[in-house]
Structures are given as structure tokens and as C-alpha cells.
């Protein structure tokens, strides 16, 4: 087996996991996530790990409520003997990456164009979730860097005013892996022509290669992703799994459970 990455600030190690639960893209559907958590309460066991595969922000009607419920369930698990902080991992998806870039919009070369693109990709819902007006954001782009900075600073403050939200965004990881096994979890995809350490933003923007993976990637027996930008639905391949049921776009929310060697053992659809 290849050497697994040892960069805890970038990749999350699921060392000692009995099983690994992975939650697909939620995209601001707080009600679906709350229902999934209700179902998960009866299935998650001490020794399991829980990984949210990114894209919990954006698109849907209740972004801040989604983050609140993720944090609420985390507190509940941490109050259970046998669970610790490393038992729960949050990955960076495209929505979280766009949100990070929005909060630094004043540094963009063409902020108006960048903002228009991001708003159309789901960032508008995240802005609304933190009490900001997407049209006001468009207007401040005409005021130059100082006006944009005032606006993004106010939005950042609104995010940090929600307990735990800012800390969660800081905790995001690029990928998670089981060091004793052969399981890799990512937000959207991998490029099989490059090792994991060189994937960069492919991990959250996805790769057209994912559906063609027919052998272990970097010797991981299975790669699990939460977002398929092609919206082709969930599926289980020989060496891959996709947990995107279209949540946020009128579809279902999915979660699946795997052994550290990549074998699927349970599945939830909400």
C-alpha cells in the first residue's frame, strides 16, 4: 500500500475507525439534514467516524440552519462516551471554497464578474442565510475595494456571530482517509493521473475522470465523493461511490457507511 498523506492541517486521518459514515452534499437543506441525523442516531456506533463531504453551504433555503444542525449533532456525539473531536470531519466543497473567495472579494481582479458567477452557482443562498442581500453585494462592487471590504467584513461578522460557524469553516479539510485501510473521501472528485498530494482544487471542483476510474486510485480501494456536478445521481462502482442525490435541487440527501477497507455496509436516503 502507498504511503498515506501525513498533513493533518490538509488531510484528515480517520485512524482507528471501526466504520466511516459519509454524508453527501446537503446544499442548505436543513430539514433534510435534521431528518438524516434522526436516522443516523440509531445507526452510528462508538468507534465510527462521521465525515461531511462538503457542499453543505449554498443553493438551498436554510444555509445557517444547516450549519447549526451539523454543530448540534456534533455536540450530541461528543457528549457520548467514546466519541472525540477527531470522530467528526468536515470537508471543503465547491460551495465552501466559493464562500471563502467571496469573503476575500476585494482582492479579485474583476470582482463584479467573479461575484456574478458565484451568485449563480449558489453563493446567493449563503449570503441570504447570513442576512446579506445579493443585490447589495452587486452594488458595492461598483464602489471599489474599500466598499467591498466593508461589505465582506460585515458578512464575515454575521457569520462569526452564529456560534461555531466561523470555527467550522476554519476546520475544513481537503480530504479524509483511513490509514489502516483503503478508503478515501473527497468532496467532488480526483484526477487519477496525479497523486493525492497534487490534486489541488480538483478535490472540490471535481473531475470528469471520476466515472471512468476502474482501478484503485493511489492504491485506495474506494474513493467516495459527495458532489457530482453532472447531477447523474448516486451510485456505487467497484472502486468509487457517489452520494449526490441532488439535495438542494429538489433531490434526496444520501449518507453511506463503509468499512476502512472500502466495503459499503449501510445506506440512508432522505
d(Cα 21, Cα 171) in Å, to the nearest integer? 18
Write the DSSP assignment of 29-89 as a string of letters: -HHHHHHHHHHHHTT--TT-EEEE-S--SSSSS-HHHHHHHHHHHHHHHHTSTT--GGGEE
Nearby residues of 140 by Cβ (< 8 Å), 6 or more positions away:
147, 148, 150, 151
| Angle value at C-alpha 26, between 20 and 32, nearest 5 degrees | 95
The region of weakest confidence among 5-19, 117-131, 145-159, 206-220 is: 5-19
Write the DSSP assignment of 82-136 as a string of letters: T--GGGEEEB--HHHHHHHHHTTGGG-SSHHHHHHHHIIIIIHHHHHHTT--HHH
d(Cα 248, Cα 245) in Å, to the nearest integer? 9
Q: Which domains does the chain have, with CATH numbers?
A: 11-93+172-269 (3.60.21.10), 96-163 (no CATH)
Query: Is 192 or 38 the better-scoring residue by pLDDT?
Result: 38
- Checking if the pLDDT of 85 tops 80, the result is yes
Q: What is the pLDDT of residues 225-266, one digit of tens each?
A: 999 999 999 999 999 999 999 999 999 999 999 999 999 999
Average pLDDT, the chain: 94
pLDDT (0 to 100) of residue 2: 46
Asked whether the beta carbons of 20 and 263 are under 8 A apart, the reply is no
pLDDT band at 7 (very low <50, low <70, confident <90, very high): low
HSE (side-chain half, CA atoms, 13 Å) at 137: 29
pLDDT (0 to 100) of residue 209: 83
Backbone angles phi, psi at 99, to 5 degrees: -65, -40
Backbone angles phi, psi at 10, to 5 degrees: -115, -50
Backbone angles phi, psi at 225, to 5 degrees: -125, 155
- Checking if the pLDDT of 50 tops 60, the result is yes
Q: Is 142 helix (H, G, I), strand (E, B) or coil?
A: helix
d(Cα 188, Cα 228) in Å, to the nearest integer? 6
Amino acid at each position: 500500500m502507498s504511503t498515506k498523506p501525513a498533513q493533518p492541517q490538509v488531510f484528515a486521518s480517520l485512524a482507528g475507525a471501526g466504520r466511516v459514515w459519509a454524508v453527501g452534499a446537503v446544499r442548505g437543506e436543513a430539514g433534510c439534514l435534521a431528518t438524516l441525523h434522526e436516522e443516523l442516531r440509531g445507526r452510528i456506533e462508538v468507534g465510527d467516524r462521521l465525515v461531511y463531504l462538503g457542499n453543505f453551504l449554498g443553493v438551498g433555503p436554510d444555509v445557517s440552519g444547516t450549519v447549526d444542525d451539523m454543530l448540534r449533532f456534533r455536540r450530541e456525539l461528543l457528549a457520548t462516551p467514546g466519541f472525540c473531536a477527531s470522530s467528526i470531519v468536515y470537508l471543503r466543497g465547491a460551495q465552501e471554497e466559493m464562500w471563502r473567495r467571496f469573503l476575500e472579494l476585494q482582492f479579485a481582479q474583476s470582482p463584479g464578474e467573479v461575484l456574478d458567477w458565484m451568485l449563480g452557482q449558489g453563493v446567493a443562498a449563503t449570503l441570504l442565510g447570513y442576512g446579506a442581500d445579493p443585490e447589495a453585494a452587486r452594488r458595492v462592487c461598483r464602489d471599489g475595494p474599500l466598499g467591498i471590504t466593508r461589505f465582506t467584513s460585515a458578512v464575515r461578522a454575521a457569520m462569526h456571530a452564529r456560534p461555531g460557524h466561523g470555527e467550522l469553516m476554519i476546520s475544513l479539510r481537503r480530504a479524509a482517509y483511513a490509514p489502516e485501510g483503503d478508503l478515501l473521501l473527497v468532496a467532488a472528485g480526483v484526477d487519477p493521473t496525479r497523486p493525492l498530494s497534487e490534486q489541488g482544487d480538483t478535490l472540490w471542483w471535481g473531475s470528469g475522470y471520476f466515472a471512468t476510474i476502474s482501478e484503485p486510485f493511489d492504491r485506495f480501494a474506494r474513493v467516495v465523493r459527495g458532489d457530482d456536478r453532472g447531477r447523474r445521481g448516486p451510485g456505487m462502482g467497484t472502486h468509487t461511490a457517489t452520494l449526490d442525490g441532488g439535495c438542494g435541487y429538489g433531490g434526496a440527501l444520501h449518507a453511506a457507511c463503509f468499512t476502512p477497507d472500502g466495503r459499503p455496509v449501510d445506506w440512508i436516503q432522505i
